[in-house]
Amino acid sequence: MRFSLSLTAALTVMFLQGTPVQAQQAEQGELWQTRCAGASRSAEALTCEASQSLRVKESGQLLFKVDIIYPGNNAAPVFQMQAPLGFYLPGKVKLTVDGTQIGDMTISTCDQRGCYISAPATDAMIEAMKAGAQLQIDFAASASQRQKIDVPLTGFSRAIAAIQ
């Protein structure tokens, strides 16, 4: 409970003061990273993902990690997000690309590392992200306060093309 309150307070102060949040990679073309893994080297069996991590610049603390995962054997893609503890759980997470809503998601589970969302990554969602400049994550820090984080989509199209 104490950690949850301190994280909520830290997020509130960060947004009010404009604390810089940085993407995992400084290079603009490499904001979205790709990775493939599997039990065999067969391309069909590999699970591949495009991901970006947003961290507090000064401390390196993870704020959000966004993944688009393509499971092996041509299974449907999945949107996953890791977020910090301290969310107001009844408040849904709203995703928009350049102001257009693409999803309204519920937090699936939380553990000591954070809270997690998992949902189908629809073709419409992926296409909007490929065409957009910013993914906005709108979440409830408390029952009466919502906050937004911008996730740059620079390099997203390249990353998706590399793993499809």
What phi, psi does 112 have (nearest 5°)? -65, -15
Both tokens assigned to 12 = 């509130």
- Report pLDDT for 23: 47
Q: Does 103 fall in a domain?
A: yes
Residue 41 lies in a domain: yes
Which pTM does this prediction carry? 0.80
In a domain, 109, yes or no: yes
Q: β-strand 21-23 against 47-56: which pairing, if any?
A: antiparallel
C-alpha atoms less than 13 angstroms from C-alpha of 25 in its C-beta half-sphere: 14
Tell me, what's the pLDDT at 114? Answer: 92
CA dihedral of 12, 14, 16, 20, whole degrees rounded to 10: -150
93: in domain:
yes
Q: How is residue 136 written in tokens?
A: 């906005």
pLDDT at 30: 76
What total of structural domains would you count in the chain?
1
Alpha carbon distance, N-terminus to C-terminus of the chain: 41
Q: Is residue 17 part of a domain?
A: no
The reported pLDDT for the residue numbered 37 is 93
CATH of the domain at 155: 2.60.40.1880
**What domain range is 69 assigned to?**
33-162
In this structure, is residue 24 part of a structural domain? no
In a domain, 16, yes or no: no
Distance CA 80, CA 29 (A): 22
Digit-by-digit pLDDT tens for the chain (164 residues) are 433 433 444 454 344 344 444 444 444 557 999 999 988 878 788 999 999 999 888 988 888 999 999 998 889 999 999 998 888 888 889 999 999 999 999 998 999 999 999 999 999 999 999 999 999 999 998 889 999 999 999 999 999 999 98
Which distant-in-sequence residues (6+ apart) come within 8 Å of 29 by Cβ? 154, 155, 158
Residue 156: inside a domain, yes or no? yes
